[in-house]
Amino acid sequence: MGQIAILQAKAGDQAGAKLSLQQALQIANTIDDASGKSATLRQIAIAQANAGDVNGALQTAINIEDAIQKAVAFGQIAVAEANAGDIKGALQTANNMGNTVEKALALQQIAMIHAKGGDLKEAFQTANTISYEYQKNSVFHEIALGQMKAGDMKGFFETLKNLQSADERARIMFSLAKYQLSKGDVKGAIQTADSIEVASQKAVALLEIATAQLKLGDLDGALNTANSIANGDRKDFALRTVALAQRDAGDLKGALQSASTIADIHQKLITLQEIAVIQADAGDQAGAKLSLQQALGTANAMKNVYEKAAALGQIAMTQANVGDPVGAESIFQQAIQVANSTEDPSRKAAALGQIAVAQAKAGDTKGALQTANTIETANVKTAALGLIATAQAKAKDTLKTPTSTEDTKRKDTALEQSALAQANVGNIKGALQTANNIQNAHQRDAVLSQIAAAQAKAGDVTGAVQTVNTFGNYPPFYGSQKFATLLSIARERLYAGDVKGALQCVNNISDEYQKAGALREIALFQANMGDVKGALTWAHNESSPYLTSFALLGAAEGVSRLRDGKKPANEPPRLP
pLDDT in the model for residue 397:
56
Query: Closest Cα to residue 288, out of 310, 264, 320, 258?
Result: 320
Q: State the average pLDDT for the chain.
A: 81
State the alpha helices, DSSP H only, in 151-229. 153-161, 166-182, 186-194, 199-215, 219-227
Helix (H, G, I), strand (E, B) or coil at 210: helix
Helix (H, G, I), strand (E, B) or coil at 75: helix
Helix (H, G, I), strand (E, B) or coil at 216: coil
Domain coordinates of the chain in residue numbers? 511-576
Q: Which of 48-62, 372-386, 516-530 has the highest mean pLDDT?
A: 516-530
Alpha carbon distance 234, 241 (integer Å): 10
Decide which of 80 and 12 is more confident. 80
* pLDDT tier at 341, thresholds 50, 70, 90: very high
pLDDT in the model for residue 426:
84
Do 360 and 387 contact (CB within 8 A), yes or no? yes
Q: Which residues does 468 contact at the CB level (< 8 Å), separation at least 6?
A: 448, 449, 452, 482, 485, 486, 489, 508
pLDDT tens per residue across span 120-134: 777 777 777 777 777
pLDDT in the model for residue 561:
77
Decide which of 16 and 467 is more confident. 467
pLDDT mean over 449-456: 90
pLDDT mean over 553-559: 82
Q: Which residues does 210 contact at the CB level (< 8 Å), separation at least 6?
A: 222, 225, 226, 229, 238, 241, 242
pLDDT in the model for residue 402:
56
Alpha carbon distance 471, 420 (integer Å): 17
Do 238 and 215 contact (CB within 8 A), yes or no? no
Supply the pTM of this predicted model.
0.54
Q: Which residues does 409 contact at the CB level (< 8 Å), separation at least 6?
A: 440
pLDDT mean over 409-423: 79
5-21 core/surface letters (b: 16 or more CB in 10 A; e: else): bbebbeeeeeebbbebb
Do 290 and 327 contact (CB within 8 A), yes or no? no
